[in-house]
Amino acid sequence: MSMVPEALLPEQLTINDVPMRTKAWLVLDLENLWIPTITFDNRVNPGVAGSRPFDGTVDETRTSLPFWLTGSCDPDGVPYDDMRVGFRRNWRILASEVFTASIAEAEYQSADPEEVELPFRIQVATPTISERYPATWVGSLSIVLPDGPLIGADPGGS
């Protein structure tokens, strides 16, 4: 399976200075980073039928991102002699720097060339693996954005 991260650039997610779109691993779709989670709560009116809504509040965002990892090459695209060894090396990089479940510093670069890089905080759990082949895994990353979805500034100023 050959992935071409260049086709997805310039959009990029970087967590703890580790780019998440490389030739060795790839977060396929980043749209869930900016889909807001709106929490609504209704207050019961005592002695009266029905309820009255509170204003909606933006809460932390809990979502997942589709993920692919291989051992065929290192993050720069240099092939490994042994895919199993390469897979373990790539996994160790991600496990020590990204899959820590603690709050990490991250940056999002939109595909929109007028948007500036957006710094934010993220928590990433160990990936859920849905398909497993020798030296290649497909699955998803469970993430939490403690400060809510990434909206960013309006590049047009409107």
Q: Which domains does the chain have, with CATH numbers?
A: 5-36+58-145 (2.40.30.200)
Residue 17 CA to residue 104 CA, distance in Å, equals 10
Q: Is the pLDDT of residue 124 over 80?
A: yes
Nearby residues of 83 by Cβ (< 8 Å), 6 or more positions away: 70, 71, 72, 134, 135
Residue 62 is classified by DSSP as E
Residue 107 CA to residue 36 CA, distance in Å, equals 18
Nearest to 27 by CA among 88, 97, 101, 108: 108
What are 60-118's pLDDT values in tens digits?
Answer: 888 999 999 999 999 999 999 999 999 999 999 999 999 998 999 999 999 888 889 99
